[in-house]
Structure 1
Amino acid sequence: MLPLDGANRKVTVFGDDHAYDTASIVKVDILAAVLLQAQGAGRTATAQERAYAQPMIQHSDNAAANTLWRQIGRAPGLDSANKRLGLTGTKGGPGNKWGLTRTTASDQIRLLAAVFGSGGTPATASGVLAKESRAYVQTLMSSVERGQSWGISAAGGSSWAVKNGWLQRDATGLWDINSIGLFTVNGHRCLMAVLSDRSTSMSEGVKLVESVARATARSALAN
């Protein structure tokens, strides 16, 4: 978790900061890569790119993600963008399996700082995304469909922006459940990433993630 204002602007990590499969939270990273590539070409996102980006974030549309994953150059393209964004523990998934991208909670905070922040902490390159690009991602994450607004939004507050991921593993039947985003409480904007695996059901995983989000917010904001 990272408060974006106030005196305590430092990342707080609870638990082991090891790598998890992203599932659909990687769609924010894919969009960041699309926007960085567009900026590198001296342009903004095209109408076609936006036509894929909107359902990918707001409705977690996998077909749209497939298209943009191929466009950015799959894992090598994602890894290149992440290097610019200051992510150090994220590795793009094999082939077309973007959902098997591996990441850490601290890297997801770096990504969120690149989207929602305005300075260089904690990501050394959080200013790489142009103001217009950041605003576009923020707008999409603030308007996900109602059924996908669970997760870090449970931390409370007056507003939130979120992207969630969920994936049932074929080999075990267990679930990866993740949630990243921003919430605002008592006028303070905070970034949060909650990653989990091995839940016996999606509903159990969602309850776990929301419980961790609430507990983390209480602990961090009390200090």
Structure 2
Amino acid sequence: MPRHRTRRSTLSASVTAGLLLACSAVGGAYLVGRSADDAPAAVAAVSSASSPPATTGVSEEPEVDLDAELAEALAVPADGADVSVSVLDTETGARATYGDGTYDTASIVKVDILAALLLLAQDEGRELSGTEHAYAEAMIRRSDNTSATQLLRVIGGAEGLDAANERLGLTETGAVHAWGLTQTTAADQVRLLEAVCGAGPVLTEASRAYVTELMGDVEAGQRWGVSAAGTGAVLKNGWMPRTTTGLWDVNSIGRVESGGHTLLVAVLSRGHTTKEAGIALVESVAKTAAGVTGAVSGPG
């Protein structure tokens, strides 16, 4: 795809240390009690006739450029849209990214808003209120826009979201008050997924469990996207027609199980003539990205 500059990075096929733990299991204690309200690869080892002495910490396996493999595997979108994808295999540490431009988040920013809300509650040593719970559940499960706007105010607007993102490890995301136009990259969205699905020190285990429970229970009509790359999807999608062009932004982020591995996948796209065309592209790209890591894609 000539529209994007591929970021080149190498990864040893033998990397096994320092792996990200899979998303916290659904359930468990949350920060607060629930509200009663109903509100809204190359594996050939290097060998020779006379093997050199073993060198501690040095792998004899060749390094694999997964970014390049991903770029080669992707097909040019039929409708001329732009796309970027990033994937992390949490079992092996294999990571690949295609495209480094920024994209509108549309509604995938709602995961970011929820992470910032939970971080704020942790800092204040409190539980979420019943109203905050109701907004959070509507925002993730139904993608309710009013709830997102209300919670953005609670966390201090775009400035509060940027401050939270700095702590969450996002380096390429810039929030705006019109939250759907927040700018981000696919690689940063995988960093967000690591923060809400891993075992890092920023969000508590209870906070991560709450986020992943909601993302695992979005309404049926919104379970497309990265779910095509595997099973047991925990996800959030975003879709938005741009008023200036009439073309669609279509994004999907989440965690899937594929080939016995846990994958974190983010696909961002724009310039689609229809929402349906965007969904088809996002799902195709998610499957391709899963395959590049070596995980075998299963049905969504």
| Partner of residue 164 from structure 2, selected from 74, 81, 85 | 81
* Aligned counterpart for 2:197 among listed residues 108, 116, 126: 116
* Moved beyond 4 Å, runs of 4+: none
For residue 121 of structure 1, what is the aligned residue in structure 2? none
Structure 1 position 177 matched with structure 2 position 246 = no
| Counterpart residue identity of residue 182, structure 1 | R
User: Comparing both structures, which one devotes a greater share of its residues to helix?
Assistant: 1
Write out aligned runs for 1:101-140 (5 A): 101-118=182-199, 126-140=200-214
Q: Gaps spanning 5+ residues in structure 2: where?
A: 1-86
Counterpart AA for 1:144: V
2:117 to 16, 30, 34: 34
| Superposed displacement of residue 185, structure 1 | 1.6
Deviation digits for residues 43-70 of structure 1 (CA, Å, limit 9, x no counterpart): 2222211110001000000011110011
Inter-partner Cα distance in structure 1 for 2:239 and 2:106: 6
Question: What does 1:1-223 correspond to in 2, within 5 Å?
Answer: 1-5=87-91, 8-14=92-98, 16-93=99-176, 95=177, 97-118=178-199, 126-157=200-231, 159-221=232-294
- 2: CA distance between counterparts of 1:79 and 1:192? 22
Q: TM-score, normalised by structure 1?
A: 0.91
Counterparts of 1:46 and 1:104, CA distance in 2: 32
State the SS of the aligned residue for 1:109.
Answer: helix
Please give the root-mean-square deviation of Cα atoms over the aligned residues, in Å: 1.2
Provide Cα deviations, 1:146-165, integer angstroms capped at 9, x if missing partner.
000000000023x1101000
SS at match of 2:218: coil
Query: Does structure 1 retain, via aligned residues, the 8 Å contact 2:175–2:183?
Result: yes
Percent identical among aligned pairs is: 54
Q: Is the 8 A contact 2:260 2:295 kept in 1?
A: no
CA distance in 1, matches of 2:228, 2:252: 10
AA matched with 1:216? A
Equivalent position amino acid for 1:149 in 2: R
Confirm or deny: 8 A CA contact 1:86 1:110 kept in the other structure: yes
Which deviates further from its counterpart, 26-35 or 66-75?
Answer: 66-75
1:4 and 1:117 in contact (8 A); partners too:
no
Q: Within 2, Cα distance between the matches of 1:89 and 1:195? A: 14
CA distance in 1, matches of 2:128, 2:187: 28
**CA displacement at 1:222 relative to structure 2:** 5.3
Partner of 1:123: none
Larger Rg: 2
Contact 2:261-2:295 at 8 Å conserved across structures: no
